[in-house]
A = this chain, B = another copy of it.
Amino acid sequence: MDAAEFRRRGKEMVDYVADYLENIEKRQVYPDVEPGYLRSLIPEEAPEEAESYEDVFKDIERVIMPGVTHWHSPYFYAYFPTANSFPAMLADMLCGAIGCIGFSWAASPACTELETVMLDWLGKMLKLPEDFLAGTEGRGGGVIQGTASEATLIALLAARSKIVKLIQADHPDRSETHIISKLVAYSSDQAHSSVERAGLIGGLRMKKIPTDNKFSVRGDALQKVLEEDRATGLIPFFFCATLGTTPSCAFDCVTELGPICNAEKIWMHIDAAYAGSAFICPEFRPLLNGIEFADSFNFNPHKWLLVNFDCSHSSYVISHLISLQHWQIPLGRRFRSLKIWFVFRMYGLKGLQHVGLAKEFESLVRADQRFEISADVVLGLVCFRLKGSNELNETLLKRINNARKIHLVPCQLAGKFVLRFAVCARTTESRHVQEAWCHISHLASELLQELPH
């Protein structure tokens, strides 16, 4: 394919993409396929000879689309949102064309520098403390990670490295291996599985702190475990606080936890993967109070800030990172800051400060006596269930997903099976939420009628 053909095919693809997103409502949000469906639809080996573009293009609808879960459909309420916007897609086209690998400044100065400045823009939008900004001679700074999983791992490794140096400064005779064998890291019992996995990867002991009835870690709960662990000779060194947990969007109480961590010389990392984007709104910024006690902070603009995946923002207080040469696992990097730049300029801060429809869905649930709300609704997630057994709710969810009209996933909260309704697509409107509720309510009525009285 030469440049002339790319001009033609590229423009066709732009139209295909626009058509896809404009008409996404008409596609079934969750596919009908069974595992293994795709293998039989395409050859077992790559072709010897080149095929025509027409054949490849036709296969998008024949092979790919029947197996796609449409995350940008206004009927998609599963997991958490992943962002998608036209400016971000334009920036990604440019990123692909430049196609540089930004592993050092010289490898492409613009790639490194735009990233630094964009993460300062983000930091200022979130009103992060000065320590987290690069500025021209700052003490901190941000970096784009692929995902929050990587960000947590890097923070954990930096903390490990810091505590080993700290202890060895006082006790030069203690080996690194010995110190590491005594370390213990903590997170909420509601924390994302990637936090536990970071511990596994780093070969580090990790414990879960029990949460209160709002699914938040409180200061006294952490303090209790710290005392127990110190008494047995363990060395607490890392706490991962979650702002906006995956099951219920709960918030650990960092204003209580931060001072404890600081006093006990424990690295506090804040994982706000989902909720972080909301902190650009003045009304939600108080949820980030306590950030001043943290050593590192991460959130995913690719969830809510209209910046296409992958784009996870990590900020560090740089003086805490001296021992870690690199702030990321991979060496090479794409020019991902371009999409932040395009999106922020094309929307402006005001254009990004919107959070809304979850409260509307919550009201609908609360107005129906058969249902209960299972956790505080703070941002875009509603956790709800039928009053009754877990089995009943499992059946309801199965029927909702089998009907293929909308797509939800469940969570467990305090032993209860709970349905999660996450407002996801940029194009979700009030009418979609109303329609989703009518559908759920109707399926619930059918289910309850079938039950013996």
- The answer to whether residues A96 and B89 also contact, given A38-B114, A50-B346, A114-B38 and a CB cut-off of 8 A, is yes
Contact of A90 (CB < 8 Å), options: B9, B72, B94, B348: B9
Residues of B within 8 A of A113 (CB): 35-39, 67
Q: Does A69 contact B (CB under 8 A)?
A: yes
Q: Are A49 and B14 in contact (CB under 8 A)?
A: no
Measured between C-beta atoms, what is the minimum distance from A49 to chain B in Å? Answer: 4
- The answer to whether residues A348 and B44 also contact, given A64-B114, A99-B82 and a CB cut-off of 8 A, is no
Residues of B within 8 A of A65 (CB): 110
Contact of A197 (CB < 8 Å), options: B13, B48, B177, B326: B326
Q: Does A233 contact B (CB under 8 A)?
A: no
Residues of B within 8 A of A69 (CB): 100, 106-109
Residue of A18, A90, A92 ringed by the most chain B CB atoms within 10 A:
A90
Residues of B within 8 A of A3 (CB): 18, 21-22, 86
**Interface 1/0 per residue, A63-97 and B, CB below 8 Å:** 11111111110000001001111111110111011
Q: Are A149 and B329 in contact (CB under 8 A)?
A: yes
Contact of A93 (CB < 8 Å), options: B14, B36, B87: B14
Q: Are B94 and A17 in contact (CB under 8 A)?
A: yes
Measured between C-beta atoms, what is the minimum distance from A341 to chain B in Å? Answer: 8
Measured CA separation A99–B45 after assembly (Å): 27
Measured between C-beta atoms, what is the minimum distance from A289 to chain B in Å? Answer: 21
**Interface 1/0 per residue, A320-354 and B, CB below 8 Å:** 00000010011110100010011011111111000
Measured between C-beta atoms, what is the minimum distance from A205 to chain B in Å? Answer: 9
Measured between C-beta atoms, what is the minimum distance from A145 to chain B in Å? Answer: 8
Q: Does A283 contact B (CB under 8 A)?
A: no
Q: Are A68 and B110 in contact (CB under 8 A)?
A: yes
Contact of A334 (CB < 8 Å), options: B47, B64, B310: B310
Measured between C-beta atoms, what is the minimum distance from A406 to chain B in Å? Answer: 15
**Interface 1/0 per residue, A15-47 and B, CB below 8 Å:** 111101110000000010101111100101111
- The 28 listed contacts between A and B (C-beta, < 8 Å) are A1-B346, A4-B18, A6-B90, A7-B14, A10-B14, A17-B94, A31-B109, A35-B113, A36-B113, A36-B136, A38-B109, A38-B113, A42-B117, A46-B122, A48-B348, A63-B110, A64-B98, A70-B100, A71-B99, A79-B107, A88-B96, A146-B146, A146-B330, A147-B330, A147-B332, A157-B201, A177-B180, A310-B332
